[in-house]
Structure 1
Amino acid sequence: MAKILPFKAVRPTRDKVSLVASRSYQTYTQAEREARLDYNPFSFLHIVNPGYKYAREITGTERYTLVRNRYLEFKEDNVFVHDKTPSFYIYKIVDRDHQVFNGIVAAASAEDYENDVIKKHEDTIEYRERIFKDYLKTVGFNAEPVLLTYPDNKVISTIIAKAQKERAEFEFTTTYRDTHYLWKLDDPNLIEVVKNEFEKMSTIYIADGHHRSASSYLLYQDEKNNNPDHKGDESYNQFMTFLIPESELRIHEFNRLVKDLNGLTKEEFLIELDTIFRIENRGIMPYKPSKKHHFSMYLDGEFYSLYLRKSLYNFKTSLDALDPQILYNTILKPILGIDDLRNDVRIDYINGKKDIINVKDRIDNGEFAVGFGMVPVDINEMKHIADDGLKMPPKSTFIEPKLRSGVTIYEF
């Protein structure tokens, strides 16, 4: 049974939400960050980058404390207000490609994470988990929800659709031309219905935010162990999530780029590949694969199609049949010598939502030697791997929607 709860969000006022909301800090170029910090005093970037005020880079515990200070200042200046009643928050995004995402911002249970009711499909890095846990412990809030997905549910969909007939609490369009809407669902009867529908679900799945959820779980463990009066209803027992039905999730692939051929000539490399793949030279016209176990490759100014030989379709686990894992097992590790996909500086990734020409350009300019593409992982593959207790290689999926930070905030 999934335990999904309403909470009292801290939110920007209606007149300032479009100014406060920001993308994740790392997604901005330096020029974009500086423009927003220079000309928008309400941007959430001022909170997460408090050193800008002092014109220097601040890291570690000192930064965490300053983040907390900036956050409190936003509250003191009434940029943020704290809702008085626990609520679910209906959230809708219409992106620039006219794709629509509907879901619920809510609190999920750390115990569900521990007990595998909330399923994971991606490995996390321990030191990153602990760094973010320490960050959360100091700042006392989370401003970016973990993206969870659940089986389509008619009851929940009906409640969402009915709420959306009213005027939205928030409606704003970003410079990316995505339009965001938020409705507050605070009717106690409807809250109980939503809670009960989630309780009928034996599992829900992390789509995006494995490190955030892992860090929230570590925080829960710390706070529970250090609180002799722990009851189980404290705010640290939950973490903020955005729950979206499986049918509305969008999964894109990540293309791989490798800096060199590991000492091989082009001809030697192609001969190595020939043992594993049927290879066709596609020339200079951009090529993208259309089937599972088919890959694209860009090398020395030309595109190639790589079809895994059917004699090698001897998959023993759900992970073995995953295309990012196949690419790792057949090319990246044994031929190109890429063993550590997370930390090897010879490999980089471009999400598949960007045009394949991005891969071509970075190879043509000499930054990389070869690039690989594949079709996206689908939701059933992701679920099977999570159900089997296995983990995908890093950068196997680029998942949408992407929420803005600072629109709803969960305090511990």
Structure 2
Amino acid sequence: MEKFVRPFAALRPSRQYASAVIAPPYDVVNELEARALVRERPYSFLRISRPEVEFPSGTDPYTDTVYAKAAENLQKLKTLGVLVRDPKPAYYVYQIQTDDHQQTGIAFTASIQAYDTHRIRRHELTTPVKENDRIRNIETLNAQTGPVLSVYRANEKINQLLNIKKSEEPLFQDIAQHDTTHTIWRVDDPDTLTAISHTINAMDTIYIADGHHRSAAASKVSAQRHSKNQQEQKNASYNYFLTVAFPHNELKILDYNRVVKDLNGYSPEEILKKLSMCFDVDTSDGPVKPNVPTTYGMYLSGNWYRLKIHNNLKTNHPSASLDIALLQKHLIDPILGIDDPRTNPRISFVGGIKGQEELKNLVDSGKWAVAFALYPTSMDQLMAVADANELMPPKSTWFHPKLADGLLSHILD
């Protein structure tokens, strides 16, 4: 079987600067949050991943000047020695820990060809604006600076190799957003490199968990460079993308909830009546956080309701059986009139880390009319959808904790 992963020489923070560089992923903070996070932090990686923070509020983030600022900031950190390039290719053990959870993965570069031929499997569509943004970011920086979160079926051999490395002194350990501790070890001894390469390359597949825009952008950049360089080498760095892969039984998926701006012309009473055609509807004295599949919480007009979809509407089909797919098919589309949640501005998405109180606050603010709380998608469901070459509805998974930006970057030599 063709090799589809390899080690890389990371661009990373010097040990003394890691805490000054570490930043949340570019797409989990809005502009106001990003501006607050870079305040008095001149080396924050958000100045590279979200360079509009260097300009007045309201600046178009998609202008050439903004992208050029990201490249300028990256070069500045390299010149100052804040970021350094490792001298030789390595794998990197990447551990993320919270108060109640720990996951250990491995950072490598993965073959674009394997991605394009579905050996590295995806489960979501991308949006052109976000994909083009990441393409321009990669091209301007000549680097992939935001790792893709991926997953492999748990493998005892990999687990043993990573645990041996974790007994050694790490490159660095720092605390990021939401009090998550990120620890990284470098693996560069020949025997362990060979063992890791052999074991991962023998796997049938790995799965994109989070970072579909990053991986899609890397594929487009690779294709563009192919067309310009007929004499290229197969092993050129731009034919690989940066990812951190975790075993499937360690990743934690939270609920990804919905809020809708209006009731599509219906009154709350009419909505409740229509819901009874497909759902059992019960009032609740407090917030509803679903604890079993195919049940939902709904906050409407100051009240919480528990919804349970009728059994005859359930299916075993990989993508159609997802809780969000059932909600979309039997409520959000036919009742609320939102047929494409990817493009319709009447719907928005709220990560489960913000809790049920956030859903209540959004509706009580008057800016949103109704909120829906969902049961989390499972890793088995995600892999089943990807294996079937199907797609999940947008925003079906909220992975927590998330990778940090700035700790590992892949230079396109």
Pick the TM interval, shorter chain. over 0.9
Partner residue in 2 for 1:398: 398
Spell out the pairing of 1:133-282 with structure 2 (5 A cutoff). 133-174=135-176, 176-282=178-284
Match of 1:290 in 2: 291
What RMSD, in angstroms, separates the aligned Cα atoms of the two structures? 1.8
Aligned to 2:24, the other structure's residue is in SS state: coil
The change in CA–CA distance for 1:387 and 1:373 in structure 2 (over 3 A counts) is same
Matched residue SS, 2:232: coil
Distance (whole Å) between structure 1 residues aligned to residue 65 and residue 243 of structure 2 = 27
Q: What is the Cα deviation at residue 50 of structure 1?
A: 4.3
Partner of 1:92: 95
The range that moved more, 126-135 or 6-15, is 126-135
**Structure 1 pair 265–9 and aligned structure 2 pair: CA distance change class (3 A):** same
Task: Name the SS for the 1:407 alignment partner.
Answer: coil
SS in 2 for 1:176: helix
CA contact (8 A) 1:12 1:79 kept: yes
* Closer/same/farther in 2, CA of residues 6 and 326 from structure 1, 3 Å limit: same
Identical positions, percent? 33
TM, length-normalised to structure 2: 0.94
CA shift for structure 1 position 112: 0.5
Task: Please name the residue that 2:382 is paired with.
Answer: 382
Match of 1:360 in 2: 360
Distance 1:26 1:146 in 2: 12
Q: Structure 1 residues 28 and 308, CA, compared in 2 at 3 Å: closer, same or farther?
A: closer
Residue identity matched to 1:144: G
| Runs of 4+ with >6 A deviation | none
Contact 1:130–1:218 (CA under 8 A) maintained in structure 2? no
Q: Judging changes above 3 Å, is the alpha-carbon distance between structure 1 residues 32 and 120 closer, same or farther for their aligned structure 2 residues?
A: closer
TM-score, normalized by length of structure 1? 0.94
Structure 1 residues 74 and 167, CA, compared in 2 at 3 Å: closer, same or farther?
Answer: same
| Pair 1:11-2:3 in alignment | no
Distance 2:88 2:140 in 1: 25
Q: Where in structure 2 are the equivalents of 1:264-343 lying within 5 Å? A: 264-282=266-284, 284-313=285-314, 315=315, 317-343=317-343
1:316–1:168: structure 2 CA closer, same or farther, 3 Å change rule?
closer
8 A Cα contact 1:3 1:195, kept in partner: no
- Match of 2:384, SS state, is helix
Distance 1:210 1:23 in 2: 17
Q: Which moved more, 1:2-11 or 1:183-192?
A: 2-11
Aligned residues of 2:95 and 2:102 also touching (Cα < 8 A): yes
Unpaired segments ≥5 residues, structure 1: none
Note the C-alpha offset of 1:149: 0.2
The whole-number CA distance in structure 2 between the counterparts of 1:51 and 1:382 is 34
Partner of 1:23: 24
1:78 aligns with 2:101: no
Give the 3 Å change call, closer, same or farther, for CA 47–132 of structure 1 in structure 2.
closer
Gapped regions of structure 2 (runs ≥ 5): none
Change (3 A) 1:72 1:361: same
2:353 and 2:56 map into 1 onto residues whose CA distance is 35
1:63 partnered with 2:66:
yes
Structure 1 residue 66: Cα displacement: 2.3
Structure 1 stretch 11-20 or stretch 301-310: which is displaced more? 301-310
The residue type equivalent to 1:84 in the other structure is: P
Measure how far apart 1:28 and its partner are. Answer: 4.1
User: Aligned pairs, how many?
Assistant: 409
Structure 1 residue 174 displacement after superposition: 3.0
Deviation of residue 245 (structure 1)? 0.5
Alpha-carbon distance in structure 2 between the residues aligned to 1:386 and 1:358 = 31
- Structure 1 position 131 matched with structure 2 position 115: no
2:307 is aligned with what amino acid? L
Paired residue secondary structure (1:132):
helix
